[in-house]
Amino acid sequence: MEKRYIADLHLHSKYSRAVSKDMNIPVMWLWGNKKGINLIGTGDFTHPFWIHDLKQDLEAMGNGFYKYKGDQEGKGPFFVLSSEISCIYSQGGKTRKIHIVFLSPSIEVAELINKSLSEIGNITSDGRPILGISALNLVKKIKAISSEVIVIPAHIWTPWFSLFGANSGFDSIAECFGDVSQDIIAVETGLSSDPAMNWRIPELDNRQIVSSSDAHSPAKLGREATVFESDFSYTGLKSALSGKSAENKILYTIEFFPEEGKYHYTGHRNCGVKYNLEDLRKKGKICPVCGKQLTVGVMQRVEDLGKILESDLQIEDWYLGENKVRGIKSGKLKRPPYVMLVPLIEIISEALEVGGSSKAVTEEYEKIINGIGTEFKVLLTASELELKVYAQEKVVEGILKLRKREISVDPGFDGVFGKVKIWGKEKPEEIQEQITLF
């Protein structure tokens, strides 16, 4: 396995609520191949039935990762034990709801964690168990079982169920995790924020910023991901996430356009109210229709907590590979850069002007993937000439526009996903204005 690999560490199995029944290891492996992902988090290792399935479908590689038994050629993708836990508890006179992703070095350690957690709550009702324990005490409890477990607060800006969430989160890592704050070596951006937004928080300066899909269905795998350059092992992964090694590190992350996330702007979907930062400054956080407080979006929450000005980040264009895919970096901070992508199915759907689940889109997607290899290769590294061999002309045009970041997005809010427009009436500059804000 090459030292450079793409990882999607946070997703869910069929044992989680509102998740496709197809989220099993064979199908995850198949879609991981299509996407071009090298390392996939299993998700949901806390669920007893899922652990049983993992034992049936996976075999240890001896490096902390696992191989799908049906992978005859042994080319991957490979798997790492992962699970998300929901903590709901009271602290400081407020109800707190925090989601945390844990990575385990082995199935054996995962089983010890499950035994311990089963003593404090029900871990069988949902692949993402809800436990009445503080984030601090949960980390202490799990780290006491194995110090090798990796702790990553999930989608840290989502209004509900996150570390910095406006509705039930905290204003700092220290406030949430107390004397185990040093164990928080990385945080996850979530779909509604990108790394530059997180760079505004000084408390994250010495922590790695990762991105994952949080997929609930196979086709959503890899919609966000992290590209590592490290020894392909659990030890190498942990070293890269520590940010202290020159040999093991994060190269860049692959992001949603944060505007496409469903909590980017502030608003009320039922009232048809959607505010950007300027609207909020002028009109406040009370809904003019129903009189209740609006759902504060990620954009505003970052503005509330951000101590570093956007201008001080020195945001610059960064270009990836021979195709010069237009990404973003900080000219001041020594932080991994990132690129923002739109899933290939969405590009095809808009190009063909039919629904993403239509037969025409599926056939075009499979034709392109079968010809070029993987979705990430299609979006990032395939030449224009190669694209033209396998993809329809307008699909190629859409991919090239994406690489130049010539798109617009109608931002999401209050649980409604944003809408990407590659050939819409909106001007490309509109999305650029959003990017320069963060």
Is the separation of the CB atoms in 120 and 131 below 8 Å?
Answer: yes
Amino acid at 73: E
| Sign of the Cα pseudo-torsion (48, 50, 55, 61, in order) | negative
Output the CA–CA distances (angstroms, integers) from residue 329 to 89, 197, 318, in the order listed: 37, 12, 6
**What is the per-residue pLDDT for 424?**
76
- Residue whose entry in the numeric block shows the structure tokens 């001041």: 332
- Residue whose entry in the numeric block shows the structure tokens 């590659």: 422
Buried-exposed string 41-62: b where 16+ CB fall within 10 A, e elsewhere: bbbbbbbeebbebbeebbeebe
Is the separation of the CB atoms in 30 and 217 below 8 Å?
Answer: no
Neighbours of 397 (CB within 10 A): 16
Neighbours of 74 (CB within 10 A): 10
Neighbours of 379 (CB within 10 A): 24
Is the separation of the CB atoms in 328 and 338 below 8 Å?
Answer: yes
**What is the per-residue pLDDT for 213?**
99
Alpha helix stretches (DSSP H) within 146-223: 173-177, 195-198
Domain residue ranges in the chain: 4-260, 344-437
**What is the per-residue pLDDT for 429?**
38
- Residue 67 token pair: 């191989």
- Mean pLDDT for each 10-residue chunk of the chain (438 residues)? 92 98 99 99 99 99 98 97 99 98 99 98 98 99 99 98 98 98 98 98 97 98 98 98 95 97 97 97 97 98 96 96 97 96 98 97 98 99 98 98 97 96 62 33
Distance between CA atoms of residues 396 and 179, nearest Å: 52
18-24: long-range contacts, CB 8 A cutoff, minimum separation 24: 18/216, 19/127, 19/216, 19/217, 20/216, 20/217, 20/218, 22/217, 22/218, 23/215, 23/216, 23/217, 23/218, 24/53, 24/57
Pairing of strands 78-91, 315-320: unpaired
Q: How much is the pTM?
A: 0.95
**What is the per-residue pLDDT for 1?**
66
**What is the per-residue pLDDT for 432?**
36
First to last CA, the chain: 36
Return the CA Rg of the chain: 21
Is the separation of the CB atoms in 37 and 77 below 8 Å?
Answer: yes
Q: Which CATH class is domain 4-260?
A: alpha beta
Is the separation of the CB atoms in 207 and 230 below 8 Å?
Answer: no
**What is the per-residue pLDDT for 435?**
34
**What is the per-residue pLDDT for 2?**
72
Bridge partners of residue 420, in order along the sequence: 409
**What is the per-residue pLDDT for 154?**
99
